[in-house]
């Protein structure tokens, strides 16, 4: 971890601004989501958080069920990922942890590069009541650069429906199509190596 953080920061020239705005105690961080299948915004914020607040402060990220299947499950749990349910979020917040939620989920992360400046939560607002019920503040976060790590052409919802496999197997409704290095055209969740786009994450006032 101590080696991975600096290497990641160097490759993506990642920058997290105003992270000290995160107050003490339980906090719900609400962020847009970028990077396609490899959501680079997650490790960007993750490493900066622990660099700033230390490893003793609990920090969890809500993740899709897909991340907790097969050999990925143990790794995700060690990295502080928990299943994205309101019950899990509420329990972590009440324990005094910082919890990150991406309301837009796969729909936001898989958006075309042509929509890189668009934040799409798909109308989801449940995070508001989760924070109110847990009695914690919401800290908004905006991240840019992730949609430039590949040329994302389409979310591929039509392809997911046509194949009839994406929602059943991955439990998401996208089957993205992108162009990148070294495989060129990529369909689905096999992934090209991310290009070194500059990543900037801005933490806003609670």
Summarised one tens digit per residue, pLDDT across range 173-186 is 888 888 988 888 88
Q: What total number of domains does the chain contain?
A: 1
Q: Is residue 180 in some structural domain?
A: no
Using CA atoms, how far apart are residues 167 and 9, in angstroms rounded to an integer?
33
Owner of token pair 């910082």: 98
Q: Is residue 35 in some structural domain?
A: yes
- Structure tokens of 13? 């020239």
Contact between 20 and 52 under an 8 Å Cβ cutoff? The reply is: yes
Q: Is residue 156 in some structural domain?
A: no
User: In the chain, where do the E strands start and end?
Assistant: 15-17, 27-31, 59-63, 81-83, 98-101, 138-144, 151-154, 177-180, 184-187, 200-203
Owner of token pair 């920061």: 9
- Structure tokens of 174? 């996208």
Helix, coil or strand: residue 67: helix
User: Chain-wide mean pLDDT for the chain?
Assistant: 86
Q: How many CB atoms lie within 10 A of CB 93?
A: 22
Give the domain extent around 109: 4-147+195-203
Using CA atoms, how far apart are residues 99 and 59, in angstroms rounded to an integer?
6
61: pLDDT strictly greater than 90: yes
User: How confident is the model at residue 14, as a pLDDT?
Assistant: 92
Q: Is residue 152 in some structural domain?
A: no
Q: Is residue 50 in some structural domain?
A: yes
Residue 114 contacts by C-beta under 8 Å, 6 or more apart in sequence?
none
CA angle 174, 179, 182 (to 5 degrees): 120
Q: Is residue 72 in some structural domain?
A: yes
Q: Is residue 155 in some structural domain?
A: no
Mean pLDDT of all residues in 35-43: 83
Q: Is residue 26 in some structural domain?
A: yes
């Amino acid at each position: 971890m101590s080696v991975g953080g600096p290497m990641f920061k160097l490759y993506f020239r990642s920058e997290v601004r105003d992270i000290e705005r995160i107050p003490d105690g339980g906090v719900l961080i609400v962020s847009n989501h970028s990077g396609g299948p490899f959501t680079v915004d997650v490790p960007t914020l993750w490493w900066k958080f622990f660099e700033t607040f230390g490893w003793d402060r609990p920090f969890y990220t809500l993740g899709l069920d897909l991340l907790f299947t097969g050999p990925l499950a143990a790794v995700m749990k060690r990295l502080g990922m928990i299943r994205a349910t309101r019950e899990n979020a509420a329990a972590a917040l009440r324990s005094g942890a910082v919890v990150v939620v991406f309301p837009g989920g796969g729909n936001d992360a898989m958006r075309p590069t042509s929509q890189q400046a668009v934040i799409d939560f798909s109308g989801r607002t449940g995070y508001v009541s989760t924070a109110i019920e847990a009695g914690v503040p919401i800290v908004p976060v905006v991240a840019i650069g992730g949609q430039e790590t590949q040329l994302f052409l389409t979310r591929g919802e039509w392809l997911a429906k046509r194949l009839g496999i994406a929602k059943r197997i991955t439990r998401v409704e996208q089957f993205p199509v992108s162009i990148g290095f070294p495989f060129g055209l990529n369909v689905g969740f096999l992934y090209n190596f991310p290009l070194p786009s500059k990543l900037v994450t801005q933490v806003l006032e609670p």
